[in-house]
Structure 1
């Protein structure tokens, strides 16, 4: 058990400063808005200039104290500049949300994935978190308190999804990077604990089905990560994913992004490492995985995106078993 003296005490967020990467849309924008409504000063960071400006203006129009900083999390110097801008503007940083991410754009089996897909996913989803930790944790340590929230996913954080939304094998890039985020955050938690600081680490599992741009990450793919292989199938869209779910008999209900933002604020106040919603059937994957490891069994806990166990899901791309 940790010494109660070292527990975080940031229950009052009024006047504190939050930095959110991937803040131009989706979960990041929702977190920024929620922080602002708690009376916090908000720094939204994103690589997309237009959406970032729009998101920042929207918060300002609500009377919230927010600033947008154009940031490429794959570039450490850019993240360093973000930290400097936050300090110059507000004089402190108390909460850092390493939330920027890119979704799966690969097709086929993992040995067929474009190497550019791997580099893009790793640079954004893994190095982006590492850069955020390296740039901001020393600032939080100097203050003696603060929170680092890293966005994970059940796809990888629990176990990789075996079969994707369009029927074929799911990309291996995205879950691999999210598994890394969980490991990074667990390690960060331990390292912080060893120092006796009040700075805390948290991992966010948004949960459910989210209506965000990550489903269509290919629309904003940087030129330096341009595909080097000819694509064989159409790019994924959220509309196609929803249609796939519904054709499989699954009802799509989006988790409100505000609910995800609530998990973060409540988790900070409660100093909760696992920022997750209430138990759901998806949690069974965790139990099944643990049982498989302990019994030295095959990984039969892997599921397709529709929630069926891989061993019982016979449909593949093209409708053939």
Structure 2
């Protein structure tokens, strides 16, 4: 690892409408939810955004929606369980917008709720391939491209509150998200001297249409786990990610930031 200190960045912009101007961002799993909210937030900050998702049609529709809002966006199909697909998505980003400056590795799945001793092996492997291997593949192909450009950059990996605590019935998900935190710290240690910052966020339970379809008792039970008295919003997570990608967070490297309404505080 190089011991030559990275140059300090220029003073951070306080104009949120232009803080990402001239930069290109790749956001995985961004056809909906946290990923889409993040892509929109980065785009509103001036970034060119690539919407990458397993749901190719959803990615195209999301890109069209952002374009209608005045955001320069493109869509690409992405299966993060396949290294070649990740490599192709990174190449698409460079070919489409001329480079890669920012990345948000958000793609993930939940998996079944089953005790560890009865957890289906195929289900376990599927969750690990998507939530952990997918982040590794993303870093594997994003980092060399950002490094080669010589301008520095920033990456945020989306872990979970379950990267710091356990959760009964979710051994694969918990293991994967703990792994994402470890990958984040390792990559940060390797690339920070090269001007590339890598951090992670740990969202709590986020209020999505899927959760809103739960019966009231189950939904209220989830809310009760959060001292804040509510679930989070995708836009709140996106705002944290945008901060970590910006020069306002220029000395935040290798960190794991929770956004969970105090779920992990009690």
Which TM-score tier does this pair reach, normalised by the shorter chain? Answer: 0.7 to 0.9
* Shift in alpha-carbon separation, 1:6–1:115, aligned structure 2, 3 A: farther
* Shift in alpha-carbon separation, 1:3–1:210, aligned structure 2, 3 A: farther
Q: Point out where structure 2 has 5 or more consecutive residues left out of the alignment.
A: 14-18
Aligned residue in 1 for 2:16: none
Question: Secondary structure, in 3 states, of the residue corresponding to 1:276?
Answer: strand
Question: Secondary structure, in 3 states, of the residue corresponding to 1:81?
Answer: helix
Offset at residue 99 of structure 1 (A)? 0.6
Between structure 1 and structure 2, the one with the greater Rg is: 1
Give the superposed CA RMSD.
2.5
Contact conserved, 2:202 with 2:260, CA < 8 A, in 1? no
Contact conserved, 2:184 with 2:199, CA < 8 A, in 1? yes
2:230 aligned with 1:253, yes or no? yes
Contact conserved, 2:135 with 2:157, CA < 8 A, in 1? yes
Contact conserved, 2:59 with 2:77, CA < 8 A, in 1? yes
* Shift in alpha-carbon separation, 1:186–1:241, aligned structure 2, 3 A: farther
Work out the CA distance in 2 between the residues paired with 1:178 and 1:105: 15
- TM-score, normalization: structure 1? 0.71
- TM-score, normalization: structure 2? 0.85
* Shift in alpha-carbon separation, 1:101–1:279, aligned structure 2, 3 A: closer
Work out the CA distance in 1 between the residues paired with 2:55 and 2:24: 22
Match of 1:262 among 223, 227, 239: 239
Aligned residue in 2 for 1:205: 202
Offset at residue 43 of structure 1 (A)? 0.3
CA deviation digits over 1:102-130, x for unaligned, max 9? 013242x2121111111110110011001
Q: Which shifted more, 5-14 or 172-181?
A: 5-14
Aligned residue in 1 for 2:51: 44
Q: Point out where structure 1 has 5 or more consecutive residues left out of the alignment.
A: 163-169, 216-236, 286-321
* Shift in alpha-carbon separation, 1:279–1:48, aligned structure 2, 3 A: closer
Question: Secondary structure, in 3 states, of the residue corresponding to 1:205?
Answer: strand
Superposition pairs of residues 281-320 of structure 1, within 5 angstroms: 281-284=262-265
* Shift in alpha-carbon separation, 1:276–1:247, aligned structure 2, 3 A: closer
Work out the CA distance in 2 between the residues paired with 1:241 and 1:147: 40
CA deviation digits over 1:141-161, x for unaligned, max 9? 112201111001111x11112
Superposition pairs of residues 169-184 of structure 1, within 5 angstroms: 170-184=169-183
CA deviation digits over 1:166-225, x for unaligned, max 9? xxxx221111100000011011111113xx210111111223x21347x6xxxxxxxxxx
Aligned residue in 1 for 2:91: 84
